[in-house]
A and B are shown apart, each in its own frame.
Chain A
Amino acid sequence: MGYCPNTEKEQQEMLSAIGVQSVEGLFAAIPAALRAKSFDLQQGMSEFETYDRMKGVAGKNSSDILNFIGGGFYDHIIPAAVDHLSGRAEFYTAYTPYQPECSQGTLQALFEYQTAICRLTGLDVSNASLYDGATACAEAAMMSLRVTGRNRILVDACVSPFSREVLKTYLFNLDVEIVEIPPLDGSLDRAELGRLLDATVAGVIVQNPNFFGTVEDFTALADDIHAKGALLIASVYPIALGILKSPGEMGVDIAIGDGQSLGNPLSFGGPSFGFIAAKKSHIRNMPGRIVGETVDKNGKRGFVLTLQAREQHIKRHKATSNICSNQGLCALRGLIFLSTIGKTGLAEMATLNRDKAEYAKSRLASISGVKLLHSGPTFNEFTLLLPRSSTPVVSTLLKKGIAAGVPAGEYYNGLENALIVTVTEKRSKSEIDRLAQAIQEVLQCN
């Protein structure tokens, strides 16, 4: 029980070495009045019974739903090597590499991870991971406040509603104004942004592809934003970066995103990891752990946690962030995923996603009464306009085992008929055809 190995005899020997009669004597410093009056938990069980119970819990979820939903988490392939290598206990039962000599495995892997994120985003520096994409968005916003010394954030409302909610939660007790720019046909309303952009703005947050799936180029925008002394923050989807213009190429200052799609299972929403990359000039304002290259006493290459003077365990309330534990193992999975998929593989995978989504788009948009929200380019997500509210359509199809998409009306006023559909490389042509058939039938029914 409890994986406590010491026998009665050993415990007695230890107690006499300490000089107390019983284990209870070690708790004597806790006044009787403060003792727990109850501890109302069940009896324990064997690991075999535990595993059966866990199977029972999992069995209460539906496991055979055909997924056309994204919303920030995506059903992608995971090479078998990812599970096996990240499952090495030397990785997963270690902790933060405070002692670098006996942690070179974790440290080098994180350095390689940072490199992968820099190369994907086209930016200079990355940290060793944040919690998730939504909290990374809030951290990036706070970073822009520190860099500029200003207190206003502009957010394109095409950014994930979850990220925007987390941003508001993080900042609600600070004197910071968050201004949302309502979407224009599923894209950033650039005229409105131009009207709002002035010298009080610390950062402008956009997403590519955005929550509706729209792909945009923010290159010209970056110049306008920099002219006002603000930072451009872009939330990006790492699989899409296999083909899409990188944040670095667009002039983005801080790129963020969720790393779930890089080798981390859906797992009902976590753990995944958040990534953050930036231009080198902002490195001292970055949150979280950063691994740096150096040499040992003999001139041999090695890796250490660096710039720790930014962090809470040194700077306490003056730290750039409160983060301590990050999502190291999930970031390692991301690195193993990117290493095995590789340079050409990621581009192929991105292309495959887009091809499948384009097929689905043309199939679904040809259903009578169904249109596209807009005609602009998309990646593996796109938004349909149904002839009626998408909410009952989705709930009806869910009962038939198809998660047909995310009803946009749940998150945006005036888009009650809109349905955001996601198609990854895992969906086959016949599954897409099944979705089209099912939507057509539901729409004909009423």
Chain B
Amino acid sequence: MQLIYEKSIPGRSGVKLPASDVPTAGALPSALLRKESAGLPEISELDAVRHFTNLSRRNFSVDTNFYPLGSCTMKYNAKVLENSAALFAPFHPMTALLPGGEEFCQGTMGMLHELGGILAEITGMDEVTTQPLAGAHGEMTGVLLIAAYHAAKGNRAKKRYVVVPDSSHGTNPASAAIAGYEIITIPTAPYGDMDLELFKKAMNDEVAAVMMTCPNTLGLFNPHIKEIADIAHSHDALMYYDGANLNAIMGKVKPGDVGFDVIHVNLHKTFGTPHGGGGPGSGPVGVKKALIPFLPTPRIVKSDNGKLSLQTSNKGNIGRTANFFGNFGVMAKAYAYIIMLGKEGLIQVSEQAVLNANYIKAKLKDWYDLPYDMTCMHECVFSASKQAAQGVHAIDIAKFLIDRGYHPPTVYFPMIVKEAIMIEPTETESKATMDAFIEVMIEAARQAESDPGSFAAMPVTMPVTRLDETKAAREQNVCCLE
């Protein structure tokens, strides 16, 4: 398909601007002006509509295909959420920051405050900031809160390390490193969780925090989590909860109850907001009481008479983590999702997500290796090692699935599983959809035995076949030259 720039015809335009009702201003000095207009497309509105509509048809998406991308919680995104967020489009964030401006923004500020309260209840935390703009942004905010906590105790220089299990999301060590910490990585034991003995050995008073995902990226709930938290706390290290897998445990476990001090929540995973082809997400961060003084500003506080106001003083806290109040539109969707589902609905979400994952696990375990064979939570991790022995790797099975109309599961993550295939069906998929997917996965396993050579050409049904990633990295053509 042509690039939009290749459809450009000089002089064509897509939008008529309003006529000016003011005098023309004198020209700016030429030293301040660009020599030529930026080389943007010159196309009609219909050209643009056809271009982007046709581009959209070159995507798999939740609305068109089963999308069991593990760790990403690709659940159905209810349409009423889109309508709800649109209600807030006209509100300027600066209004709230003007003197006396809070009075005019009680609806939006109230919603953020209430959402924070609901997330605190779901996660067992004492207060939540809604400012972080994505999961990894929440992680960084959380680690900075931990850094501020230690600094306030005079321990900034002493607390140098953050501990992560080797099964963690890459964002955990990356966020801690960006925030100034060195990383200690603990291997996973054969029982599928962070090796408890190695963890005990690694812990010392220089550890600032332990970052855990629970259930972890193998989809397993760590029964030793309280013990791990107790050990961490005995060294004045704080427990960080990566909320990526919260979809498994709503109403079942509250991270705050089992020893976690800081948590981020991915609203775009657990709370039904769409993933947008890579974003926007939203990553609110919850903390226990001891960390409240360090929360980012502006902080929305509610007075006894129910009025919302902004606390902007940044004395002692970590300051702003983003321009304004977070990805408000995403939070409006998550808020609508939560009030619509309510208590019973959210519990049902977790139960059905876990049921669906275990069903797929049960149906496929005779066909694919299951390195950690125990009851999983909301996702299950297979290995294509059996197939790899025939020359058919996880990536080949992924391409087979594409040809059959399925978005592949996450492959090669977690890194501790060779040839990993991580399947997260979510609660919104029907048994019929999963049965069809299971059949195709079994067919892939059979074909890996009978005709392993056939996979190399896949996919054949897409606009392109397998792409040369080495050429892309070598040539670095990341923009179309004029």
Roughly how many angstroms separate A54 CA and B430 CA in the complex, as a whole number?
29
CB nearest to A6 among chain B residues = B431
**Chain A residues touching B, range:** 35 or more
In the complex, the answer to whether A73 meets B92 with C-beta atoms within 8 Å is yes
In the complex, the answer to whether A23 meets B351 with C-beta atoms within 8 Å is yes
Point out the residues of chain B lying under 8 angstroms from A104, CB to CB. 1, 55, 58-59, 462-464
CB nearest to B10 among chain A residues = A343
CB nearest to B374 among chain A residues = A29
In the complex, the answer to whether A312 meets B174 with C-beta atoms within 8 Å is yes
Point out the residues of chain A lying under 8 angstroms from B77, CB to CB. 92-93
B90 interface residue (CB < 8 Å to A): yes
Segment among A198-206, A225-233, A352-360, A435-443 that sits at the interface with chain B: A352-360
**Binary contact track B18-50/A, C-beta < 8 Å → 1, others 0:** 101111111011011111011111110100110
Roughly how many angstroms separate A63 CA and B88 CA in the complex, as a whole number?
9
User: Would you give the shortest CB distance from B36 to chain A, in whole angstroms?
Assistant: 9
B171 interface residue (CB < 8 Å to A): yes
In the complex, the answer to whether B280 meets A271 with C-beta atoms within 8 Å is yes
A417 interface residue (CB < 8 Å to B): no
Give the residue of B61, B78, B339, B467 whose beta carbon is less than 8 angstroms from that of A304. Answer: B467
In the complex, the answer to whether A13 meets B278 with C-beta atoms within 8 Å is no
Point out the residues of chain B lying under 8 angstroms from A165, CB to CB. 314, 319-320
Give the residue of B178, B250, B459, B476 whose beta carbon is less than 8 angstroms from that of A321. Answer: B178
Give the residue of A217, A319, A355 whose beta carbon is less than 8 angstroms from that of B174. Answer: A319
Q: How many residues of B contact A (CB 8 A)?
A: 212
Given contacts A118-B479, A355-B24, 20 further A-B contacts (CB under 8 A): A3-B78, A20-B375, A26-B351, A34-B258, A40-B121, A54-B87, A71-B97, A85-B48, A100-B464, A126-B479, A135-B133, A170-B140, A173-B151, A242-B38, A309-B473, A319-B177, A328-B276, A352-B18, A406-B98, A428-B21
Point out the residues of chain A lying under 8 angstroms from B37, CB to CB. 242, 343-344, 346-347
Known: A124-B479, A358-B25. A322 touches B178 (CB 8 A): yes
In the complex, the answer to whether B280 meets A329 with C-beta atoms within 8 Å is yes
Point out the residues of chain A lying under 8 angstroms from B399, CB to CB. 101
User: Would you give the shortest CB distance from B53 to chain A, in whole angstroms?
Assistant: 7
Point out the residues of chain B lying under 8 angstroms from A19, CB to CB. 362
Roughly how many angstroms separate A313 CA and B411 CA in the complex, as a whole number?
12
In the complex, the answer to whether A34 meets B355 with C-beta atoms within 8 Å is no
In the complex, the answer to whether B320 meets A134 with C-beta atoms within 8 Å is yes
Point out the residues of chain A lying under 8 angstroms from B428, CB to CB. 3-5
A224 interface residue (CB < 8 Å to B): no
25 A-B Cβ contacts within 8 A?
A4-B348, A14-B356, A26-B355, A29-B220, A30-B223, A36-B254, A44-B339, A58-B91, A65-B95, A90-B59, A94-B276, A102-B60, A104-B462, A112-B480, A131-B134, A135-B133, A242-B37, A246-B38, A292-B476, A294-B468, A316-B174, A319-B174, A322-B136, A325-B268, A330-B276
Point out the residues of chain A lying under 8 angstroms from B477, CB to CB. 292-294
Point out the residues of chain B lying under 8 angstroms from A399, CB to CB. 100
B225 interface residue (CB < 8 Å to A): yes
Residue of A11, A219, A317 with highest tally of chain B CB at under 10 A = A317
List CB contacts (< 8 Å) of A330-386 with chain B.
Answer: 330, 332, 335-336, 338-349, 352, 354-356, 358-359, 377
List CB contacts (< 8 Å) of A25-61 with chain B.
Answer: 26-31, 33-37, 39-47, 50-51, 53-61
In the complex, the answer to whether A51 meets B466 with C-beta atoms within 8 Å is no
A253 interface residue (CB < 8 Å to B): no
**Binary contact track B368-386/A, C-beta < 8 Å → 1, others 0:** 0000001100000000000
Roughly how many angstroms separate A63 CA and B23 CA in the complex, as a whole number?
30
B284 interface residue (CB < 8 Å to A): no
Roughly how many angstroms separate A161 CA and B123 CA in the complex, as a whole number?
33
Point out the residues of chain B lying under 8 angstroms from A90, CB to CB. 56-57, 59, 61, 63-64
User: Would you give the shortest CB distance from A296 to chain B, in whole angstroms?
Assistant: 4
In the complex, the answer to whether B90 meets A27 with C-beta atoms within 8 Å is no
Point out the residues of chain B lying under 8 angstroms from A377, CB to CB. 28-29, 32
**Binary contact track A395-406/B, C-beta < 8 Å → 1, others 0:** 100110001001
Roughly how many angstroms separate A33 CA and B427 CA in the complex, as a whole number?
26
List CB contacts (< 8 Å) of A93-142 with chain B.
Answer: 93-106, 108-112, 114-120, 122, 124-126, 128-129, 131-135, 142
